[in-house]
Structure 1
Amino acid sequence: MNVVVIGGGVVGVTTAYYLAQAGMDVTVLEAQEQYGDFGATAGNAGFLSPSDAFAWASPSALKVAIKSLLNPELGVQYKFHMDPALWAWTASFLSQCRRSKWLQNSDSKFKLAQYSIDMLTELRETTNIDFDVSDQGIIYASRSTSELQKLSEHFNFLGERGLELELLDRDALHQKMPLLQSDSNIYAGAVFSPNCKTGDSSKFTRELAQWCIKNSRCKFIWGAAVESIVRENNKISSIVTSKGEFKADAYVLAAGAHSSILAQSLGIKLPIYPIKGFSITAPLINPDIPQMPGFDDTDKLVALSVLGDRLRIVSSAVFDGFDTTHRQQDFQAILRLAKEILPDVADYSDVKYWAGLRPMTPRSLPILGASPIQNLYLNVGHGNLGWTLSCGTGKIIADIIAKKTPKLSMDLFQFKL
């Protein structure tokens, strides 16, 4: 069976891997010219974190949004302009903020995240690829005792579902994270998720693509921007790109935030909106420092991780369409917080700036499986957890195309008209 995957980011490449492992001939089409150094794959926090499986649409979402509007440094920014897609998405998002919906969506997202990490573990054993992975867990820190109590209660939801968690007081936090300024009293304590990981998703994508080329019937066409999708009798017959025309038995759409644009050309309206995030990456002053846990300042909405010889700092959720432009002033708050949290770890005079788009659905759940077009399958809408969910969703898509029953219930992930 021949399959074309549209999209060469972390989701597209993991999908290609699992399709090839199932014995299929796979062609990956990617508009960019290089491996994994683009889109949300390139600049995310690097967290592999079922601990972040909470749906964004929650009873407290409106409060967080209003608080951020009053203080833009808290990371959530809503650009008010006449974008019908944004208003429609927002209305759908608000409909998911009831507690019953939040519990249902978060539960499904957590199960998918756990499954995905299991698949990643197997993939690592099979391929032995290097992507600067750290198995030191992730710390979720709070700056006040009252907020720490709320944070602990919040995480009970995942603890009840089997996620191992530890509550750290200030001293235990500094023991777990010695790179924090030793005399700092910024944090009251933290919730620690020991089984979560961090890793460089861009490096992972490059290495996995190379492994697929060498070890399976898989090829990658870079610089292949989709120009048109030819449809006949409710089936796709070919994909026309800047690098030529490609035909297959089945097609998988895995193009991140731009999936909604490609789907719309086929008359499919995906409930996905691009949410911009910012990150900076700075070289470590001492590349030989011991591995550290991922670190999330839950009050300031900023995440930090060491990826090889670099420190990555990520923040912001900006609702502003497909705009990925950025100015140096967009990163001032992130840079200031990085210097406050880890002042002596990285060279903050030599930073790389990045802005990219998270393809978010109102429910915070990806859309997986069959589409209204007979031979087109969807692997889209991973939101803030594309890196975490990529292996699980790739395996699910491969199972569906191979006519196997996926390990997880697909009820909440299927596309609905």
Structure 2
Amino acid sequence: MKVLILGSGVVGVTSAYYLARQGHEVTVVDRQPSPAMETSYGNAGQVSFGFSSPWAAPGIPRKAVKWMFQEHAPLKIQPKMDPTMARFMMQMLGNCNPERYMVNKERMVRVAEHSRACINALRDETGIRYEDRQRGLLQLFRHESQVEAVAKDMRVLEQCGVRHRLLNADEIAGVEPALGRVPGKFVGGLHLPDDQTGDCYLFTNRLADYCRERLGVEFRFNVEIQRLKRSADRIESVVTSEGELTADAYVVCLGSYSPFLVKDMGVRLPIYPVKGYSLTVPVTDDGGAPQSTVMDETFKVAISRFDDRIRVGGTAELASYDLSLLEKRRATIGMVVRDVFPEGGDVGRAEFWTGLRPMTPDSTPIIGATRVDNLWLNTGHGTLGWTMSCGSGQLLADLMSGRDPVIDPRGLDVSRYAA
């Protein structure tokens, strides 16, 4: 089968890898000059399978009101006359109850745990390296209330067979030694020993090279994707800046821009861009820097270690498609890394970046078929595109090839929003 993948971020490239491995003729198209130039470029670096949790959670509406008046809040909303934003927020609020949280958490962990197995196998098969580390993730708690609240997540982790351990204040430095230099800051942490870290940009580019050289995948860059052309119940072609491109099947992996392309096909995607920021900080003291990933639960900021760099990612900002770099957001994530690892890196020499995470109201990605016969989706991964990319790509390839999928795909395609 000839497959055309629209988008060359980490989700598009992993989709290409798994489809090509199953014998399909794959072409990837993107407006950028190379892979992973948008949301996949500067993300937080955490491959956090066990940390996969919905943003829509009980208590979030109350916290969101409080965050409006905090300087270093994890969520910011830029007021706009935007009905799409208003609709997204209302749908998200509808998921902020215990019942929906548990359903959405299970779906996310289902995909993430599959992705863990997939990325491990991919690394063994391809041999690619991307400044990766397999040393786990440590979620840090500054308040006892956070320790109490994590109990519900631990129940889901236990049901899904995810290894985890709750640590007290004296035990966290045993996992991340540099935290011993800031005593008294944290009351405990949740350690997920099987989580990983790595540079998503390096991973995506090296996997794209492997796909091109070993699997025959064609990449077409600097091509503007303009619209889909439909004939009856099928996509006939993709209209681009270089003319019409045809295939047997079409896969949309365009992140936050996916809804624009498919809406004329009668497919409504409740995806909204949630803007995030990151700093890439040169390491100055290995002993004072993280060895893997830590997540500061209070500020929702992730701090990950690459070879000689620290990647700090955080802040969720509802600001439509605005990509301007705001210094006050830099101040927040800079404050957190200085507070947690004050001797680890030179924040003054950091690279500042922003990107749009394609968030769904239930935080679960949209993977699978649509009502249009040959149109498929792999999008809406929110903050966890890097984490879920391999599992999503492998699941999509199985579904498109008519194979029995390794995991249950129910609740993951766009039909869950039909009501």
Tell whether 2:401 aligns with 1:402: yes
Give me the whole-angstrom Cα distance separating, in 2, the residues matched to 1:183 and 1:268. Answer: 51
Give me the whole-angstrom Cα distance separating, in 2, the residues matched to 1:59 and 1:187. Answer: 23
TM-aligned CA deviation for residue 262 of structure 1 = 1.1
TM-aligned CA deviation for residue 95 of structure 1 = 1.6
* Structure 1 unmatched runs, 5+: none
Question: Would the alpha carbon gap of residues 214 and 405 (structure 1) be closer, same or farther in structure 2, given more than 3 Å must change?
Answer: same
TM-aligned CA deviation for residue 329 of structure 1 = 2.8
Give me the whole-angstrom Cα distance separating, in 2, the residues matched to 1:127 and 1:332. Answer: 39
How many residues are matched?
A: 416
- Structural mapping, 1:246-395, within 5 Å: 246-286=245-285, 292-395=291-394
Q: What do the CA deviations read for 1:57-107 (whole angstroms, capped 9, x no partner)?
A: 221221221221121412101222211111111221122222111111111
Q: Is the deviation greater in 128-137 or in 328-337?
A: 328-337
Match of 1:166 in 2: 165
CA contact (8 A) 1:181 1:342 kept: no
Give the 3-state SS of the residue equivalent to 1:180 in structure 2. Answer: helix
Give me the whole-angstrom Cα distance separating, in 2, the residues matched to 1:49 and 1:242. Answer: 37
Match of 2:14 in 1: 14
Match of 1:64 in 2: 63
Give me the whole-angstrom Cα distance separating, in 2, the residues matched to 1:281 and 1:55. Answer: 26
CA contact (8 A) 2:288 2:343 kept: no
| Matched residue type, 1:403 | G
User: Aligned-residue CA RMSD in angstroms?
Assistant: 1.7
Deviation above 6 Å: which 4+ runs of structure 1? 287-291
| Matched residue type, 1:16 | A
Question: Would the alpha carbon gap of residues 181 and 244 (structure 1) be closer, same or farther in structure 2, given more than 3 Å must change?
Answer: farther
TM-aligned CA deviation for residue 3 of structure 1 = 0.4
Q: Is the deviation greater in 113-122 or in 318-327?
A: 318-327
* Structure 2 unmatched runs, 5+: none
- Structural mapping, 1:221-236, within 5 Å: 221-236=220-235
CA contact (8 A) 1:284 1:345 kept: yes
Match of 2:200 in 1: 201
| Matched residue type, 2:35 | Y
Give me the whole-angstrom Cα distance separating, in 2, the residues matched to 1:72 and 1:404. Answer: 50
Give me the whole-angstrom Cα distance separating, in 2, the residues matched to 1:253 and 1:79. Answer: 28
Give me the whole-angstrom Cα distance separating, in 1, the residues matched to 2:172 and 2:202. Answer: 30
Match of 1:85 in 2: 84
TM-score (normalised: structure 2): 0.95
CA contact (8 A) 1:358 1:383 kept: yes
TM-score (normalised: structure 1): 0.95
| Matched residue type, 1:14 | T
**Identity value in percent:** 32
Give me the whole-angstrom Cα distance separating, in 1, the residues matched to 2:4 and 2:11. Answer: 14
CA contact (8 A) 1:24 1:217 kept: no
Q: What do the CA deviations read for 1:184-230 (whole angstroms, capped 9, x no partner)?
A: 32112211111111111111000000000110120111111102322
Q: What do the CA deviations read for 1:370-392 (whole angstroms, capped 9, x no partner)?
A: 11211110111111111111111
Match of 1:26 in 2: 26
Give the 3-state SS of the residue equivalent to 2:170 in structure 1. Answer: helix
Question: Would the alpha carbon gap of residues 11 and 242 (structure 1) be closer, same or farther in structure 2, given more than 3 Å must change?
Answer: same
TM-aligned CA deviation for residue 153 of structure 1 = 5.2
Give me the whole-angstrom Cα distance separating, in 2, the residues matched to 1:324 and 1:287. Answer: 33
